[in-house]
Amino acid sequence: MKPLLVWICLIVPVLAPTAQAEDEAQKLEGELIAHAQELFDAVTAGNQEPWKKYFADDCLFFDEKGRNFTKAELVADIRPLPNGYSGKIAVGKTKSLIQGDTAILSYDIDEQETIFGQNLRARYHVTDTWLRRNNQWQIAASQVFRYYEDPALGRIGGKKLPQFAGTYELAAGQTRNVSIEGDHLIIERNGKRETLWPEASEIFFRKGVEGRILFRADDKGKIDALIDRRNNEDVVWRKVK
């Protein structure tokens, strides 16, 4: 039987590299988070230098609108805010996966913008893929998307609601009913009931659901259709009663 000290000496070299790798990964994660915050601090200042430094020359960048930027296009897009505009962007909810010379950093950014005294907010999610080349870490690919937010709640007079109530048909046997409960419209299909909240006089939304419900009027001003607008494409339901 080997003495205890011998077993310890055999085990420690196995454990030590793992502990060291974890420490290095945590340190790298902290550095990449700091770099991400530096990049977005530079956005509001219109400072292009961090974007030149941290993005690889052959990087792929896709913004929340689906546009694909080269590094030159991305850097050129970083410009100072116009007069009367100010803001800040905070990085949070970070997660990382680090393997060898590749590091993936995923995080939320919370944007606050003030336009001539009016405050706006937007939330995005970003995933950056960092590569270590020639002992230098740079972003090789970045993908941004924007979180869906409900629109601002509008107002509509209660006397206008009755004209929207009725049954709307998509095809034979496919109907949706719109009714009034209190001062709200309720839309129902196959037992599923949802409240329609006004965005404008004839435009409504369902909370947490992307898209709009619109009511179309004919030449005489009578509602003849319900339009389910999804990503700027329309599904039309004809009013049948």
Domain membership of residue 56 (yes or no) is yes
One domain, residues 141 and 36: yes
pLDDT score of 203 more than 80? yes
pLDDT of residue 8: 46
One domain, residues 105 and 33: yes
User: Distance between CA 51 and CA 36 in Å, rounded?
Assistant: 10
What is the average per-residue pLDDT within 82-106? Answer: 96
User: Distance between CA 215 and CA 223 in Å, rounded?
Assistant: 7
One domain, residues 131 and 202: no
pLDDT of residue 7: 47
One domain, residues 68 and 130: yes
Domain membership of residue 151 (yes or no) is no
Q: Which domain holds residue 40?
A: 4-146
User: Distance between CA 69 and CA 25 in Å, rounded?
Assistant: 29
pLDDT score of 176 more than 90? yes
One domain, residues 13 and 40: yes
One domain, residues 140 and 168: no
At 42, which CATH number?
A: 3.10.450.50
Q: Which of 99, 107, 95, 106 is nearest to 132 (CA)?
A: 99
Sequence length of the chain is 241
User: Distance between CA 198 and CA 160 in Å, rounded?
Assistant: 12
pLDDT more than 90, % of the chain: 78
Question: What is the residue-averaged pLDDT of the chain?
Answer: 91
pLDDT of residue 19: 76
User: Distance between CA 241 and CA 224 in Å, rounded?
Assistant: 9
Of 17-26, 64-73, 90-99, 122-131, the one with minimum mean pLDDT is 17-26
